[in-house]
Amino acid sequence: MIIDDTGETEFTKALSVLFFDCLRATSDDRVLILYDSALDDFFEKIVRFLISKTFHTTFVEVPNNYQHALLTWSAAENEPIVPAPLAAAIGEATVILNCLKLDTAAHRFRRAILETPRLPSCRMAHMPGVSAEVFSVLSRTPIQQIVESAELVAWALGEGSVAQLVTSHPDGTPLTLEIDLGGWTDEPIMSTGVIHAGAWGNIPPAEVFCCPPLGRVNGKVAINGSLPGHVLEHQDVIVLSFTEGKLTSWEAANPPITEYFDTLRESALQTSDTNWNVFAELGIGLNRAITTLTGNPLLDEKAYGTVHVAIGDNKAFGREVASNTHID
């Protein structure tokens, strides 16, 4: 465990940022923590922190394989996924920490958690893919600086009508992906880390993103940073082609990288997920505490100086595309 200059552990500092700067929790709050095996390495430390701050907390474990079972039993889009007792717990909490595993196949369950009715005063921190690196970054995250930067970037996206991502094919050929932003009619979303009453936010922050109108993305983009589970070296660069808002083809010199998308397509066919390849999001990372890419999209999409695109679901952001996956 790393000790900072004040003698406070890095982990405890991260929890202080989370509960006080992000969630603005007090001892009067009713705290709910949802977790699975992703939290195993940190559970006891979190419990000790909550005890030290006299936070009245309910812990609900939803094992990952049980999440998959719930999705199987609730195959139709309009069938309930969240069990009634869990929904009741969510509905009573004023602070929620959602630490379920970053499992692509269980995305619909995590989305259902976000869509479960909550109190108007409730603040939810969404932390899929939680890890030691996540807590380390959170301990160093400059929340106020991010708030100021996010407001500027959101204004730029809202005022803009078109974005162009200009990248290079591995052979040097210039590539352009053109995105109709929708302006203020498709208002940009700020993930600053400050979670207001009635809202939820990804932790750690920070990014500003928008969800372009359906069918209004065309061209090619070379991805040279990361995919979920993959940090891309030069030989791994993958070129994604979009036509009328859908990913239509992908090419890379390294077979495992193309196989990642092949697997996504095959899985979508098996589940009749016709929206898996819809362009869902354009995002800009603003967190200077993230200095390297890890393959964990929760971190990588927030790294300062990066731009990311996503395919699949954006219904969790209040938009119209529903999918079983969301891939940054």
Q: Give per-residue pLDDT as tens, 188-217.
A: 999 999 999 999 998 999 999 999 999 999
What is the Cα Rg of the chain in Å?
20
* C-alpha separations of 134 from 10, 13, 76, 126 in Å: 11, 12, 34, 12
Q: Which range has the worst mean pLDDT, 4-13, 201-210, 271-280?
A: 4-13
Give Cα 5 distance to the centre of its chain: 31
206-230 mean pLDDT = 94
The rounded distance, in Å, linking the Cα atoms of 283 and 296 is 15
Q: Which range has the worst mean pLDDT, 75-84, 100-109, 204-213, 259-268?
A: 75-84
The rounded distance, in Å, linking the Cα atoms of 54 and 43 is 16
| More reliable by pLDDT, 235 or 136 | 136
39 Cβ neighbours under 8 A, 6+ residues apart: 33, 46, 99, 130
pLDDT number for residue 20: 95
The rounded distance, in Å, linking the Cα atoms of 274 and 72 is 18
pLDDT number for residue 76: 63
pLDDT band at 233 (very low <50, low <70, confident <90, very high): confident
Give Cα 326 distance to the centre of its chain: 9
109-138 mean pLDDT = 92
19, 55 Cβ separation under 8 angstroms? yes
The rounded distance, in Å, linking the Cα atoms of 229 and 33 is 25
Q: If DSSP states are collapsed to H, E and C, what string results for the chain?
A: CCECCCCCEHHHHHHHHHHHHHCCCCCCCEEEEEECHHHCCCHHHHHHHHHHCCCEEEEEECCHHHHHHHHHHCCCCCCCCCCHHHHHHHHHCCEEEEECCCCHHHHHHHHHHHHCCCCCCCEEEECCCCCHHHHHHHHCCCHHHHHHHHHHHHHHHHHCCEEEEEEECCCCCEEEEEEECCHHHHCCEEECCCCCCCEEEECCCCEEEECCCCCCEEEEEEECCEECCEECCHHHCEEEEEECCEEEEEEECCHHHHHHHHHHHHHHHHCCCCCCCEEEEEEEECECCCCCCCCCHHHHCCECCCEEEEEECCHHHCCCCCCCCEEC
With CA atoms as reference, report the closest residue to 110 among 267, 328, 324. Answer: 324
The rounded distance, in Å, linking the Cα atoms of 309 and 219 is 13
pLDDT tens per residue, range 244-272: 999 999 999 988 899 999 999 999 999 89
Please give the structure tokens belonging to residue 169. 């094919």
The rounded distance, in Å, linking the Cα atoms of 47 and 265 is 40
Share of the chain above pLDDT 90, in %: 78
Q: Which amino acid is at 269?
A: L
234, 221 Cβ separation under 8 angstroms? no
* C-alpha separations of 49 from 13, 18, 44, 52, 138 in Å: 10, 12, 9, 5, 16
